[in-house]
Amino acid sequence: MAEILLFHHAQGLTAGVLEFAEVLRGAGHTVHTPDLYQGKTFQTLDEGMVHLRSLSFDVVVERGVQAAQGLPGELVYAGFSLGVVPAAQLATARPGAKGALFLSGFVPPSEFGSWPGIPAQVHGMQGDPEFADSGDLDAARQFAELVDDVELFVYPGSAHLFADGSLQEYDEQAAALLTERVLEFAARVA
């Protein structure tokens, strides 16, 4: 089974992120869920972004990189929204990566170096302003077109963190399909 380092989104290590990790564990995978906010969670994305800015983006990303220390190199790096940044950095720069999962966000791995040719999935909603309107979707399309073994899944709707069951924007149908695809991916790269 796969060993996965899963990073939370800007609202923190919510119950929904932890539940998602439990589903992966239930399928036999080992999942690490570092808390980049050191215990703080936020009710809204805006509140989470205020906290992120108070810490500095670089500090949060560095915490993500440090979370990988002491773990084996052969990891799947995964992140929700904000969490895609340390996931992409580690997948690109840390030797031995087995795969990458970018959920509700995308950052071109070329920001951190050259892509190591590992499998990856990108998931997001077609009308999500944080994903589609920000340029993430266009960058993800280009990445999927240019790189072998990269899958892009675009779901109908406009929710940002649609796979976090603890948030109001949770979309049960889209989240179930995302989870099914992630489980298949994790089993394949294990």
pLDDT tens-place values along the chain, 190 residues long: 999 999 999 999 999 999 999 999 999 999 999 999 999 999 999 999 999 999 998 999 999 999 999 999 999 999 999 999 999 999 999 999 999 999 999 999 999 999 999 999 999 999 999 999 999 999 999 999 999 999 999 999 999 999 999 999 999 999 999 999 999 999 999 9
- Report d(CA 190, CA 186) in Å as an integer: 6
Per CATH, domain 3-189 is 3.20.20.450 = no
Give 65's contacts (C-beta < 8 A, 6+ positions apart): 86, 89, 90
For the beta sheet containing 76-80, the strands, ordered from the edge strand earlier in sequence to the opposite edge, are 30-32, 3-7, 76-80, 99-103, 120-125, 150-155
d(CA 141, CA 152): 7
The Cα–Cα gap between 161 and 74 comes to 27
Please give the distance of CA 74 from its chain centroid, rounded to a whole number: 17
The rounded distance, in Å, linking the Cα atoms of 64 and 61 is: 5
Name the phi and psi angles at 119, rounded to 5. -65, 150
For the chain, what are the domain ranges?
3-189
